[in-house]
């Protein structure tokens, strides 16, 4: 049995038996709910968390029917999972993956707009580490991400926020929020330009063009490209190697590297405010209306 198959089977068993920890069950609630709680609406999405041997924490985006588009509650669930990673001494590293054909096709724009307007974002939970690394407290332990299919918008920004990135050969990336009436508000304007170079990043962020897995590796955005179906196995294998190393040394390595990038913090912290402003713009509303009506959006710059 492959590692990936074993994970999915164990996760299913734990979900139905009441043994799994399931976080951020709905887009309406910021509270973690145990499996015995009321089952969330089918389209609300959830974040699943499973502890594997050797100190590896598996964190899954589970809203496959909506291409794993993040709801506000799923964002909170991710943050709570990362808080658990950092505050459990037995955990050494996490693997983030998406259930289904796609890793993550961005955020649920209407849900986020409503949450922004209601003052529910950014999350105020104390046991929360921002999954996009936009504000403190910052994640202190390593994160390996495995992606497949659509990895776009905030899905790509989750990839950029990870430390090691594995892509299946069918992965398709996009950071083209400008074609949707908004802009990359989850860190890409900082990390994409840093990792791929100014011209490479701007070529994709300003045109809205997509790129594939091999182009992602060429740009240095992913470290390995593997056959579809092997991405989670490979991420786990890397995580196990990390977990076998000295925990203090691993954390010090991450901390030292982040100190060298500390000048980015102000730029990252400013992103949520600007994104919230643009999310309420006429152009952002025009994109949603055009999407419903099946026509190209007409942006007017207001």
When pLDDT is cut at 50, 70 and 90, the band that residue 210 belongs to is very high
Q: Is residue 201 in some structural domain?
A: yes
Is there a contact between 107 and 62 (Cβ–Cβ < 8 Å)?
no
Statement: residue 46 has pLDDT above 60: yes
Statement: residue 29 has pLDDT above 70: no
Each residue's pLDDT tens digit, 111-145:
888 888 888 888 889 999 999 999 889 999 999 99
Strands 93-98 and 143-147: parallel
Calculate the average pLDDT of the chain. Answer: 85
Is there a contact between 140 and 94 (Cβ–Cβ < 8 Å)?
no
Each residue's pLDDT tens digit, 222-254:
999 999 999 999 999 999 999 999 999 999 999
Taking CA 204 as the corner, what is the angle to CA 214 and CA 228, rounded to the nearest 5 degrees? Answer: 30
- Structure-model confidence comparison of residues 47 and 29, the more confident one: 47
- Averaged pLDDT, 158-167: 98
Q: What is the 3-state secondary structure (H, E, C) of the chain?
A: CCHHHHHHHHHHHHHHHCCCEEECCCCCCCCCECCCCCCCCCCCCEEEEEEEHHHEEEEEEECHHHCCCECHHHHHHHHHHHHHHHHCCCCCEEEEEECCCCCEECECHHHHHHHHHCCCCCCCCCCCCCCCCCCCCCCCCCEEEEECCEEECHHHHHHHHCCEEEEECCCEEECCHHHHCCCCCCCHHHHHHHHHCHHHHHHHHHHCCEEEHHHHHHCCCCCEEECCCCHHHHHHHHHHHHHCCCHHHHHHHHHHHHHHCHHHHHHHHHHHHHHHHHHCCHHHHHHHHHHHHCCCCCCCCC
Q: Is residue 302 in some structural domain?
A: no
- Structure-model confidence comparison of residues 129 and 19, the more confident one: 129
Q: Is residue 284 in some structural domain?
A: yes
Give the number of other CB atoms < 10 A from CB of residue 34.
Answer: 11
CATH code where residue 126 lies:
3.90.226.10
- Structure-model confidence comparison of residues 125 and 29, the more confident one: 125
Give the number of other CB atoms < 10 A from CB of residue 143.
Answer: 25
Is there a contact between 229 and 96 (Cβ–Cβ < 8 Å)?
no
pTM: 0.80
User: What separation in angstroms does the CA of 279 have from each of 104, 114, 116, 201, 272?
Assistant: 19, 10, 9, 22, 10
Statement: residue 31 has pLDDT above 60: no
Q: Is residue 215 in some structural domain?
A: yes
Q: Distance between the two ends of the chain, CA-based, in angstroms?
A: 54
Q: Is residue 200 in some structural domain?
A: yes
Cβ within 8 Å of residue 6, ≥6 positions away: none
Q: Is residue 298 in some structural domain?
A: no
Q: What is the pLDDT of residue 42?
A: 52
For the chain, the domain total comes to: 1
Taking CA 172 as the corner, what is the angle to CA 168 and CA 173, rounded to the nearest 5 degrees? Answer: 115
Q: Is residue 74 in some structural domain?
A: yes
Domain that holds residue 93: 3-293
CB-based contacts of 62-65 (< 8 A; 24+ apart in sequence): 62/99, 63/99, 64/98, 64/99, 64/100, 64/101, 64/102, 65/100
Q: Is residue 202 in some structural domain?
A: yes
């Amino acid at each position: 049995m492959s590692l990936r198959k074993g994970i999915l089977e164990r996760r299913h068993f734990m979900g139905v038996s009441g043994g799994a920890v399931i976080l951020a069950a709905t887009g309406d609630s910021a509270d973690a709910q145990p499996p015995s709680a009321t089952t969330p609406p089918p389209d609300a999405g959830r974040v699943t968390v499973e502890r594997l041997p050797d100190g590896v924490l598996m964190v899954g985006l589970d809203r496959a029917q909506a291409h794993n588009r993040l709801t506000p509650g799923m964002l909170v669930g991710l943050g709570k999972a990362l808080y658990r990673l950092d505050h459990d001494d037995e955990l050494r590293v996490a693997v983030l993956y998406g259930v289904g054909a796609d890793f993550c096709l961005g955020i649920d724009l209407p849900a986020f707009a409503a949450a922004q307007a209601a003052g529910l974002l950014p999350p105020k939970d104390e046991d929360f580490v921002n999954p996009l690394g936009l504000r403190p407290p910052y994640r202190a332990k390593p994160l390996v991400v495995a992606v497949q299919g659509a990895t776009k918008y905030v899905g790509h920004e989750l990839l950029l926020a990870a430390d090691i990135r594995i892509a299946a050969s069918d992965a398709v990336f996009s950071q083209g929020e400008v074609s949707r009436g908004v802009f990359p508000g989850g860190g890409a304007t900082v990390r994409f330009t840093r990792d791929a170079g100014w011209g490479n990043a701007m070529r994709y962020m300003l045109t809205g063009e997509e790129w594939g897995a091999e182009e992602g590796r060429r740009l240095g955005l992913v470290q390995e490209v593997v056959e579809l179906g092997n991405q989670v196995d490979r991420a786990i294998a890397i995580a196990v190697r990390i977990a076998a190393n000295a925990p203090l040394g691993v954390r010090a390595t991450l901390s030292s590297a982040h100190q060298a990038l500390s000048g980015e913090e102000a730029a990252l912290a400013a992103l949520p405010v600007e994104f919230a402003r643009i999310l309420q713009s006429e152009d952002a509303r025009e994109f949603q209306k055009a999407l419903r009506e099946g026509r190209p959006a007409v942006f007017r710059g207001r």
